[in-house]
Amino acid sequence: MKSVKVLGTGCAKCKQLYQLIADYKAEHQLDFELEKVEDIMDIMAYDVMGTPALVIDEKPSFVGLPSKQELAKLLNAN
């Protein structure tokens, strides 16, 4: 099973990214675990340069808010 994590301390963009992924997952009936990571020490362990960040199968994959097309490419490629 694929693991998808949204890294962020709870800011509006972090919440927006989480919701964008949750909506995409439901709309396309994808099977993966979606998790929010808000603890700063856990976020730092991924060595990302900003938030929100998207981690797919434990690999940092995107920083910021992807477009719907970018998100589809990221989630369907993995």
Task: Give all domains of the chain, ordered by start, each with its CATH number.
Answer: 2-77 (3.40.30.10)
pLDDT of residue 46: 96
pLDDT at 76: 86
Q: In this structure, what are the phi and psi dihedrals at residue 22, rounded to the nearest 5 degrees?
A: -60, -40
Catalytic residues: 11, 14
Q: What is the pTM of this model?
A: 0.91
- For 10-60, the pLDDT digits (tens) are 899 999 999 999 999 999 999 999 999 999 999 999 999 999 999 999 999
